Amino acid sequence: MFFVNQQLCTGCGLCTKVCSEDAISLNSGKAEIDVSNCNECGLCISICPRRAITTDVFVSDIYNLKEKMTGIKKRVDWLSRRVNLIMVNKR
């Protein structure tokens, strides 16, 4: 389940724009999540600049995983470029 910390929420609306299920709306200038429509994809958590949206899963784990995945992607991209360079030089 996802939650909005009303004290941290500035009502920027970024979360409402990324929510594919229209589960988030602004009410009195703050985000509110309709849990019955939420598919728990986590896009709202990743886009919120104030980290006002959380879940009962540890949010720090989500951010750490995102950082690790970014590092892995950079490494895979680098390796892919190296393999392509080697293949071109063998021709």
pLDDT in tens, 53-91: 998 866 567 777 788 888 889 999 999 999 988 888 877
Whether the Cβ atoms of residue 45 and residue 2 lie closer than 8 Å to each other: yes
CATH number of the domain at 2, please.
3.30.70.20
pTM of the model: 0.61
State pLDDT tens for residues 24-63. Answer: 999 999 999 999 999 888 999 999 999 999 988 665 677 7
Q: Are residues 11 and 49 in the same domain?
A: yes
Q: Are residues 32 and 19 in the same domain?
A: yes
Burial 78-87 (b: 16+ CB within 10 A, else e): eeeeeeeeee
Structural domain count, the chain = 2
The Cα 52–Cα 48 span in angstroms is 7
Containing structural domain, residue 30: 1-57
Q: What is the pLDDT of residue 58?
A: 65
Q: Are residues 47 and 89 in the same domain?
A: no
Using pLDDT thresholds of 50, 70 and 90, give the confidence band for residue 22: very high
